[in-house]
Amino acid sequence: MGKIKLNVLGISYSQTQTGAYALILTEEQGNRRIPIIIGGFEAQAIAIQLEGLNPPRPLTHDLFHNFALAFNINLLEVNIYRLSEGVFYSKLICNDGDKELSVDARTSDAIALALRFRCPIFTSDEIMEQAGIILDENQAMEEDLEQDDLYSADSASSGRAEDLVELTVQELKTMLDEAIKSENYERASIIRDEMKRRKKD
């Protein structure tokens, strides 16, 4: 069974399930994508890592990462090995220096950990055939996700343009630091998006 390497393309607010998010994985050597519906907590854990935010205290996945490293356990790869009734099943392939171990995990948790350990994510040809979506060029342009897309619905409702557009870059940096210190990661994400938008302009 062939292994296909996947990359995290981004996260967006789910249009089909209230309070849920869509994690999009894309094959490294190809144009198919796998959408996985995940919860808000897991989306935040993945987004924090994608966006390079540094929480003042370790979140659950950071704690797992630090705990594993303290005991010389390394995460070698994540393997999404099964798809049943719309649910993806994953394994963490670990090494403690002596032997390789396989640990069952929810896919959202596995991806959050893969990003922290900087390890590869794989799936099988069979799962890619079942769940992979090929977008035509126009769809790809419209639906291409950037990391900015996280909490896009919340960003709109929080009035980003109204309360951030008049601030200086330095003021935004100060607000970003304060949001991270107070562990308000949704707000931090919105502020970071505004800073990114200005860099593009």
Task: Tell me the per-residue pLDDT of 13-51, one tens digit each, with 9 for 90 and over.
Answer: 766 666 678 899 999 988 899 999 898 888 888 988 888
Strands 121-124 and 74-84: parallel
Domain count, the chain: 2
Q: Is the pLDDT of residue 147 over 60?
A: no
Residues 140 and 157 in one domain: no
Residues 44 and 123 in one domain: yes
Written as one letter, the residue type at 160 is R
- pTM for the whole thing? 0.71
Written as one letter, the residue type at 40 is G
Task: Using the CB atoms, write b or e for 162-185: b if 16+ within 10 Å.
Answer: eebeeeeeeebeebbeebbeeeeb
Q: What is the residue range of 116's domain?
A: 3-150
Residues 145 and 159 in one domain: no
Residues 95 and 161 in one domain: no
Overall average pLDDT of the 69-86 stretch = 94
Q: Which residue has the higher pLDDT, 196 or 35?
A: 35
Q: Is the pLDDT of residue 93 over 60?
A: yes
Residues 64 and 11 in one domain: yes
Residues 52 and 94 in one domain: yes
CATH of the domain at 13: 3.10.690.10
What burial class does residue 20 get, using C-beta atoms within 10 Å of its C-beta: 0-12 exposed, 13-18 middle, 19+ buried?
middle
- What 3-state class would DSSP assign to 48? helix
List the single range of 44-48, 68-72, 84-88, 171-175 with lowest mean pLDDT: 171-175
